[in-house]
Amino acid sequence: MRKLQLLLRWIVLLFFGSTILAVLIYKWCPVYVTPLMIIRCAQQVSRGEKLRLKHHWVPLDSMSIYMPVAVMASEDQRFLDHNGFDFIEINKTLEERRSGKRFRGGSTISQQTAKNVFLWPKASWVRKGLEAYFTVLIELIWGKERIMEVYLNSVEMGDGIYGAEAVAQQHFGRRAITLTRPNCALIAATLPNPLKFCSKEPSSYMLKRQTAIMTQMRHIDVFPRK
């Protein structure tokens, strides 16, 4: 029994030590690969397809000033105000579930970043618990600017395309820093399902979402940078 307790103690210490160390490392180091990138590549190989992985890390200052504004307008309008969890949206989601309506996800940009960088995409109670843990860590250690930078570099933005720089080059033939306000709104419009929606060849539905996001962008200030 004592040996089991000792083993469990070491497992707990190893878990917290390794996860905190990983978050500290990524506070300064670029995130060149994520679990989702590996999973998508494995799926491509299993289907006998050619590997598709476009990802170019760039600092936040090398992206259009409209890119953070667009994703906040689309995904998380209270990003700068909450501590990683938007309880207003969480309550709305719970109410929609209780009423039987089709509900939206209540995940913030911080939660999505925690999932993208450290976890796997398939939803489960275990993953949600770990996601909450990593969200608290990155909010405490990284801060909003770094969270936004990592999010915009790691989020899936198309088939085999990850991050603002890669989608800018692949879909718009330009660098991320030169993306226009409409470009950024169109990219943000794909984020609920970037494998279904394409910013290169947008449908009429996508163009409507782009217009709605651009309207919301008027109410959001340019993202503060150092």
pLDDT band for position 102 (cuts 50, 70, 90): low
Which pLDDT value is given to residue 40?
96
pLDDT, one tens digit per residue, over 103-123 is 556 789 999 999 999 998 888
How far is residue 75's CA from residue 191's CA, in Å, rounded to a whole number?
8
Using an 8 Å Cβ cutoff, are 150 and 113 in contact? yes
CA-closest candidate to residue 43, choices 121, 103, 97, 111: 121
Domain map (residue ranges) of the chain: 31-217
Using an 8 Å Cβ cutoff, are 86 and 106 in contact? yes
Which pLDDT value is given to residue 224?
73
Strand partners, 156: 162
Which pLDDT value is given to residue 95?
74
Question: Residue 54 pLDDT more than 70?
Answer: yes
Which pLDDT value is given to residue 207?
97
Which pLDDT value is given to residue 174?
97
Q: How much of the chain is helix, strand and coil, in % rounded to 5?
A: 60, 5, 35
Tell me the CATH class for 31-217.
Answer: mainly alpha
Q: Which residue has the higher pLDDT, 100 or 215?
A: 215
Total-model pTM: 0.92
Which pLDDT value is given to residue 86?
86
Question: Residue 101 pLDDT more than 70?
Answer: no
